[in-house]
Structure 1
Amino acid sequence: MQHIIDRFISYVTIDTESDANSQTTPSTPKQLVLAKLLVKELTAIGMTEVTIDKNGYVMGTLPSNVEHNVPTIGFVSHYDTSPDFKGEGVKPQIIANYSGGDILLNAEQNIILSPNYFKDLLQYKGQTLITTDGTTLLGADDKAGLTEIVSAMEFLLKNPEIEHGKIRVGFTPDEEIGRGADLFDVEKFGAAWAYTMDGSQIGELEYENFNAAGAKITFKGKSVHPGYAKGKMINSMLIASDFIDALPKGETPEETKGYEGFFHVTQLSGSIEESKVELIIRDHDMKKFLKRKDLVHKIVRKINEKFAKQFGEDIAVVEIKDQYYNMKEKVEPVKYIVDLAEKAMQDLGIKPLIKPIRGGTDGCRLSYMGLPCPNIFAGGHNFHGKYEYVPVESMQKAIDVIVKIAQLTATTDFSDPEILKPSKKKAKKKKK
């Protein structure tokens, strides 16, 4: 496993934090340092058609080694890291044969990764973990995915007896700020379908995600000397507070799970004269998603009606922009691509955890761009923070899944996709 560790560490020690305030692609020039390294690695291991475009999108090809026709498939991951937490100066720590107890990340700051709080740790007792030093994120999201894809391609090249069709790999910038698929050339990529290696714990397999929108509401006010303000002052901050209070109770990220949608206020700023509220709107169900957006408009209309006479014009202005949609609509017609990944995991003794994503990936955008793209585990936990970690064994299993998917694709008769569905034995009825 050392080569996996070495490759992963070489990636995470390169700062690739993206920037939502930038208008360029990539949003930060430092992302290109890793992108160019990936080009060199893909070329060095023997991949063909290795390219990087002006926007930092990296692609490469593993040619087919069989004579019969096989669908071209792809594997995709992103190389940027989240701006939510510091990504510069990553110092990975290797915890061999994890004992199941607390892990001291940083003695000076007394930062501890504990299974008492992060209970998922306990399932990796005895394994090798890679953690942060408590001062940065790790970058397993999604440099674990990069490691797995490159390592799987290298393995297939070194083991030509494993049958596979043509495989395309793609690495994107700026996924963490919602732009990873913006300039992805699906036609150039040329795959019938693909998989993002961007999930969390081992076994995850996802083809449903949120419908997503972002909303910005600007509230106006009137500033008057507080000693003479009665009937004259309008404090925009209080109106913004009323708006937030009018959102449904119990429908926030911290109070929802599974298929439950939410409203999430992400930013609040203001003064008496002007305040701004930013929030994100999420729901797996399209009808409920549309109702959520409509509710925001209704609350704003009521506020405007309330202040129409006093203010003389709309005191609140709302802008809602859709961000991405549930990939389920595009993947279900070709559900066999999910069945293929599920079978690959089962063949390897991995229990598939098929569940909805409470978020989105490049894959959901790519699915609507004509490239159906379910999401597979990359192995990491606690993304975007100092408690992030990844078990090396999970990365190895993800590599195995990629290889098995490639092998199954080359040996499956896709004219009969039912063959991929796991058999469900009927329970025998007991004789009375």
Structure 2
Amino acid sequence: MNEEALKNTLVDNFFRYLAIPSQSKEESTKIPSSEGQEKLARLLAEDLQKLGLVDIAINDYGVLQAKFPKNSDYTQALGWVCHLDTVDVGLSDEIHPHVIKNYQGGNITLNREENINLTPDENPEILKYIGDDIIVTDGKSVLGADNKAAIANVMTAISYLNENKNIDHGDIYLAFVPDEEIGLRGSRKINFDDFNVDFAYTIDCCELGELVYETFNAASASIIIEGVSAHPMSAKNILVNPIMIANDFINLLNKSETPEHTEGKEGYIWVTDIESDVLTCKIHLNIRDHSREKYDQKKVFLIHAIDLLQNQNPKAKISIEIEDIYSNILDSVNDANKVAIDKLFKSFTKLGIKPKIIPMRGGTDGSYLSTRGILTPNYFTGAHNFHSNKEFLPINSLYKSLLVTIDLMTND
């Protein structure tokens, strides 16, 4: 399969998987949270069966796992984890991609009727791709390169190795998981007894060359404030307004440590939503920090803040629950497993890709897998503007990500 044919297969696979709407739904308590993810898993299972994989199974949580058996004496068993869901940011679940051939600069019209344009003024980075073919949407949805570019990447790599049986590779394990976008729910449901890898990779986020092995530590917190109701005519010294206590709590937070005032490795506490009536107020928070020490300090601060408010408002009932979601991949790196990162650097060098190492202000499924003793660094899909209707994916960047995958699979 020559370069042009491989690119065409890659793009065709990407478009085929995009055709299945699979937004995750945060309000759902079911895993997977949407039927589209199950549908996509079934399609992938059929594709994997045709490619000769074994141990293909979809569990009760919509996690699809499979194994591509080794054809050599390679000793390393590698894994890839891709998520089935696309993000729900209030845009259409239907994705209508198209290719801008040989981009020559200037604005790209995504939707003429609604005057939606991708412009160099807003996105100057697009000018780096003059002469490239670029995949965009119709402006009514995200593109979904997060994470269907990864799915297409891995499936195309397996197809390539299946067609070229003379190329040596070790055991390759695949896991396609639901609901990454709503708290890495699916990766927790992997059957790890059937994911017997030395280390693994995710392909999630961002432009050509990005390489991630440092992520946030992340937790969610829920505060419940139960007040005391009374009629205003006789409320003095009786009424306890939970909304006012919530206001006092928010005023205790450091305003400089919020998402809108932080960058790089700076952590934050983010009040994401508040629900209240006259009796009960619920506050939901996200806690993030790259430093484990500072992350733990933020959790302790919140507990002390609740204790303070409880002492100030003895008639109220105030509680907090904090749940760890994922951890910093870097904290799982050691001398024995850092070969997973070393292999990425070697692949980048071989393919002439300049590494762009970033501390991710977020997490990947690898953030959870790494806590399970499976170091899982991340590399680029090639796309820009994730979670936006102006998301775009240069095809040459997508192709180079595929070449990284093939190289990792075929070098012990």
Structure 1 and Structure 2 fold alike (TM over 0.5): yes
Q: How far 1:228 moved relative to its partner?
A: 5.2
Q: Could you tell me which amino acid in structure 1 is paired with residue 399 of structure 2?
A: Q
Could you say if the C-alpha distance between residues 228 and 39 of structure 1 is closer, same or farther in structure 2, counting changes exceeding 3 Å?
A: same
Partner of 1:379: 382
Q: Tell me which of 275, 296, 299 is aligned to 1:290.
A: 296
1:208 to 209, 214, 234: 214
Give the structure 2 partner of residue 369 of structure 1.
372
* 2:199 alignment counterpart: 193
**Counterpart mapping for 1:31-430 below 5 A:** 31-66=37-72, 68-178=73-183, 179-226=185-232, 229-308=235-314, 311=315, 314-333=316-335, 334-409=337-412
Residue 248 of structure 1, CA deviation: 0.8
Give the whole-Å Cα distance in 1 for the aligned partners of 2:10 and 2:334: 34
Give the Cα–Cα distance (whole angstroms) in 2 for the partners of residues 316 and 355 of structure 1: 39
Q: TM-score, normalised by structure 1?
A: 0.88
- Tell me, what secondary structure is at the counterpart of 1:4? helix
Instruction: Give the match's secondary structure for 2:204.
Output: strand
Deviations 1:141-185 (A, max 9, x none): 100000000011111222234332222222111111220211101
Gaps of 5+ in 2: 1-6
Contact preservation (8 Å) 1:206, 1:356? yes
Rounded Cα–Cα distance in structure 1 between residues aligned with 2:217 and 2:203: 20
Pairwise CA distance, 1:232: 4.1
Partners in 1 of 2:125 and 2:260 — Cα distance? 18
Cα drift, residue 229 of structure 1:
4.4
Q: What corresponds to 2:4 in structure 1?
A: none
Q: 1: CA distance between counterparts of 2:28 and 2:142?
A: 21
Q: CA deviation at 1:296?
A: 0.9
The residue type equivalent to 1:197 in the other structure is: I
- Does the residue aligned with 2:220 lie in a helix, a strand or coil? strand
Q: Kindly provide the CA deviation profile for residues 237-282 of structure 1, in whole angstroms up to 9, marking residues without a partner as x.
A: 2221221121112111122112111111111121232221101000
User: What residue is the counterpart of 1:17 in the other structure?
Assistant: 23
Question: How far is 1:53 from its partner?
Answer: 2.6
Once residues 57 and 186 of structure 1 are traced to their aligned partners in structure 2, the CA distance between those partners, rounded to angstroms, is 11
Unaligned runs of 5+ in 1: 410-432
Cα distance in 1 for residues equivalent to 2:9 and 2:411? 26
**Letter in structure 2 aligned against 1:30:** G
The CA deviation string for residues 212-251 of structure 1, in whole angstroms up to 9 with x for no partner, is 1111112233344445545444332222122112111211
Percent of residue pairs identical: 38
Q: Deviations over 1:365-396 (max 9, x none)?
A: 11122322111111222222312222221111
CA contact (8 A) 2:32 2:186 kept: no
Using the alignment, how far apart are the partners of 1:237 and 1:196 within structure 2?
42
Deviations 1:105-124 (A, max 9, x none): 22232222222222332222
In the alignment, residue 153 of structure 1 is paired with which amino acid? I
CA contact (8 A) 2:63 2:186 kept: no
